[in-house]
Amino acid sequence: MVGGGLIVGGSWPLAARVDAPPYYYLGLAALVAAMIWGGVLAYRSWEEATEELDPATKDELLEAFRQAKLEGELDEKEFERVRRRIEDDERARVRRGAGDEG
């Protein structure tokens, strides 16, 4: 058997004897580039989905409710109720923090 196949002891595998056209390599390069770009996009999406966000501060919350009051979404009574609630929660958080340290 001359030039044997892949299994029968030929010196080269069958695929090595086939010359690939240039567009094969262009397609392969495009596929590799697309896979790398897809990996980058997947990593960015994962990073954004798992990032830890800092909770809003008391001042940020009050500013958001002040803006809602100015836009007419809250009346004065409701704004005062929310403001007292935020300040009470802040005082309770400070007391708990002081109690944990002692």
In a shared domain, residues 44 and 74: no
Question: Contact 66/79 with Cβ under 8 angstroms?
Answer: yes
In a shared domain, residues 14 and 45: yes
In a shared domain, residues 4 and 42: yes
Tokens linked to 50: 């798992």
Supply the range of the domain harboring residue 44: 1-53
In a shared domain, residues 37 and 65: no
In a shared domain, residues 41 and 67: no
Mean pLDDT by 10 residues, the chain (102 residues): 53 63 92 98 94 85 93 93 90 74 48
When divided into structural domains, the chain yields a total of 2
Question: What is the number of other CB atoms lying within 10 angstroms of the CB of residue 10?
Answer: 15
